Structure formats: C-alpha cells, structure tokens
C-alpha cells in the first residue's frame, strides 16, 4: 500500500480518553492508561486511533467547549504524556487522529474573555457580534428544542454574540484571516507532536459566512483548501476527516464544488462515501460507510469523509 494512501485501508477506532482506561485510579481515564492498552488495540487490528476532545474544557459539552487549543486536560495527563502516547502508537504502526473543534470555543476561553471585556481588544473580531438582536436569531439552531436562539446578549460586552451551538460556545469568526492563521497554527502544533490528521468538527459552519446580515448559508470552500494545502505542506500523508451533516440532496453540490477546486482521482466506496485526493467533500451523518467505523457520540454526528492530497 502506498504510504500516503494509508487511510484507504485504515481501521479507525474512536475513543474518549476520559472513559477508556484509568492508570492512576482517580476515576478518570488518562493517556497513561490508554498507552497501556495500545497492544490490545494493535491486536484487534486497529491502525488508527481517533481521539475525541481532550483539551482543557469546563466540560459542559463533553469537551467540545475548549478553553485551550494547545494543552491537555490535567485530568488526562500532560503534553508530555500525549507525546509519549503518540510515539508508543507509532511504534506499533498505529496513527493518531484528533478532533479539531474550531467552529466555536468555550465562553471561558481567554480569547472570548478578552473580546467581551474590551471592544478594542484584538480578539473582538475573532467572534461574531451585533449591536442589536438580528431578526433571524430564532433560526438555524443545531439543537432545536434545547436552544432558543443563535444569538445571545452579553452584558459585559453590551452586544449580541453568535453561537450556532449552545450559548456557552460562541462561534469563532472563521472567515477572518487572523482566525484562519490561528487554526493553521493549532494544526501545526499537534502535527509536530505526532498526530496524523484531524477530524474537523462542524465543517459546514466553519466554512459558512457569519454575521447579523447573513440571511442564508454561503459556503466558502477556499477555507478548506487553505487548511488542506497547509496540512499537505507540513505532513504529506496527513488527512482531514470531516463531520458530515449535510442532507443527501446536497451531496452532489459539494461534489461539484470540489471538482471546481481541482479535485480528481475520486473513488466511490460503500454508501456514497467520497474520497478525494486533492479536494474535500462532505456527507450526511447517517451515511457511515466502510472508510470510518465509529460510534456516534451523544448528539454529535459522526461523518466518514476523508480528504487527502
């Protein structure tokens, strides 16, 4: 098998560090415990481990509300433990994929704290604000019935902020060049520590235009191309696995956009599972083909789309 196409025959095992194995008997799983089980995973035939969020977090959304993109939750260990784990996995021929949650942060993240405290903060534009409640605030919730709005008023900022998910997860202004540069920095950091790719959370929202005046979703596919090119430059055989939650009727629209982005060598495998060598595509969450077999996690959809240049 060609090394940079390793994902085509990969057996991907998704797990939560917190619930896997506890090495220090404190009731919480950790990287030391996970490392002890690598031989077991290797014996199962696993060739890639996909880790759910393990960064510092208040834990209000299973770790998807991140407060530090460059750290490890102290309950799970240290950065040193993480590096030791990736090295041990590599010795057994197991690659490590991690969640890349960059559509939103926790409202406790230092970026948001700085943004809400000072309108002149350099982080103010890293989030999406409005002086008045936008007319479409009651539409577009990810969790209808739980969420009542996609805009919430912040008393400290004296402005409304946008959140596609819960109100404690303000959306990052992902079209902003400085936010995109920071995302590349995050990717580069974890690549340097030994990961082989990312499962990117909430991709349709990451690439959508955001703001009080946006009336309908407008996907900006160039953002994905930027991420892919950076990943290819830093680590030629690294991959991006996208959370897939678009409707079936949207599949071909994404496929056509990918072709416009110079995608080629496309293979169709299983139930509409696209693998692109120089592009990026997305699929419905319910379509879990043979390329990635992983259990759904709570209310989060699990996709199975891999992008590889």
- With a cut of 80, say whether residue 257 has pLDDT above it: no
CATH code: domain 3-103+175-307 is 3.20.20.80
Q: What is the pLDDT of residues 55-66, one digit of tens each?
A: 999 999 999 999
Q: Give the residue from 261, 200, 251 showing the smallest Cα distance to 53.
A: 200
Nearest residue to 274 via CA among 253, 301, 298: 253
Residue 276 has pLDDT above 90, yes or no: no
Q: Which has more confidence, 140 or 121?
A: 121
Whether residue 282 is predicted with pLDDT greater than 60 in this model: the reply is: no
Mean pLDDT, to the nearest integer, of 110-137?
Answer: 96
User: Which own/partner pairs from 79-86 qualify as long-range (CB within 8 Å, at least 24 positions apart)?
Assistant: 79/193, 81/30, 81/31, 81/32, 81/35, 82/31, 82/54, 82/193, 83/193, 83/194, 84/31, 84/35, 85/31, 85/34, 85/35, 85/38, 86/193, 86/194, 86/195
The highest-confidence range among 83-87, 200-204, 207-211, 247-251, by mean pLDDT, is 83-87
pLDDT given at position 297: 27
Read off the pLDDT band of 219 (50, 70, 90).
confident
In the predicted structure, residue 294 carries a pLDDT above the cut 90: no
CA geometry: angle 185, 171, 56, nearest 5 deg: 60
| 1 band by pLDDT with thresholds 50, 70 and 90 | low
**Average of per-residue pLDDT values in the chain:** 82
The residue assigned the tokens 């759910």 is 52
Comparing 41-45, 168-172, 205-209, the range with the smallest average pLDDT is: 205-209
Query: Does 3-103+175-307 match 110-162 in CATH topology?
Result: no
Q: Residue 304: is its pLDDT beyond 90? A: no
Q: What is the CA radius of gyration of the chain?
A: 19
Other Cβ atoms closer than 10 A to 158? 11
Can you read off the two tokens belonging to residue 82? 């993480």
* Region of residue 158 (left: phi > 0; alpha: psi -120 to 50; beta: else): left
Residue 134 has pLDDT above 90, yes or no: yes
What's the confidence (pLDDT) of residue 245? 74
Distance, CA of 307 to CA of 254 (rounded, Å)? 13
> What is the C-alpha separation between 151 and 129, in angstroms, rounded?
9
Fold of 110-162: Oligo-1,6-glucosidase; domain 2 (3.90.400)
Between 143 and 1, the more confident residue is 143
159 pLDDT more than 90: yes
* pLDDT number for residue 4: 72
Q: Which of 271, 256, 264 is nearest to 307 (CA)?
A: 264
Q: Any residues with CB less than 8 A from the CB of 214 and at least 6 apart, and which? A: 208
Where do the structural domains in the chain lie, given as residue ranges? 3-103+175-307, 110-162
* pLDDT of 302 strictly over 50: no
pTM value is 0.83
- Residues forming the active site: 201, 243
């Amino acid at each position: 098998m060609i090394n940079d196409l390793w994902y085509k025959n990969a057996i991907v095992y998704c797990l939560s560090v917190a619930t896997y194995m506890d090495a220090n008997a404190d009731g919480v799983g950790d990287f030391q415990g996970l490392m002890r089980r690598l031989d077991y995973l290797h014996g199962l035939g696993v060739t890639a481990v996909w880790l759910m969020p393990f960064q510092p977090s208040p834990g209000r959304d299973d770790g998807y509300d991140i407060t530090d993109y460059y750290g490890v939750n102290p309950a799970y260990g240290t950065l040193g433990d993480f590096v030791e784990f990736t090295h041990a996995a590599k010795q057994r021929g197991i690659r490590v994929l991690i969640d890349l949650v960059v559509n939103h942060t926790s409202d406790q993240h230092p970026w948001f704290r700085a943004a809400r405290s000072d309108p002149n903060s350099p982080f103010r534009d890293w989030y999406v604000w409005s002086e008045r409640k936008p007319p479409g605030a009651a539409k577009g919730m990810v969790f209808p019935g739980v969420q009542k709005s996609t805009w919430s008023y912040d008393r400290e900022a004296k402005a409304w902020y946008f959140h596609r998910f819960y109100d404690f997860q303000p959306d990052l202004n992902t079209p902003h060049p400085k936010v995109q540069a920071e995302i590349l920095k995050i990717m580069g950091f974890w690549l340097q520590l030994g990961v082989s790719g990312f499962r990117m959370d909430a991709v349709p929202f990451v690439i959508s235009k955001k703001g009080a005046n946006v009336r309908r979703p407008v996907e900006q596919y160039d953002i994905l191309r930027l991420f892919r090119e950076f990943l290819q430059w830093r680590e030629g055989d690294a991959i991006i696995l996208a959370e897939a939650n678009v409707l079936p009727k949207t599949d071909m629209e994404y496929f056509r956009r990918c072709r416009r982005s110079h995608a080629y060598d496309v293979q169709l495998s299983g139930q509409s599972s696209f693998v692109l060598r120089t592009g990026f595509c997305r699929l419905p969450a319910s379509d879990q083909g043979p390329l990635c077999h992983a259990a759904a996690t709570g209310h989060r959809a699990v996709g199975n789309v891999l992008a590889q240049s």
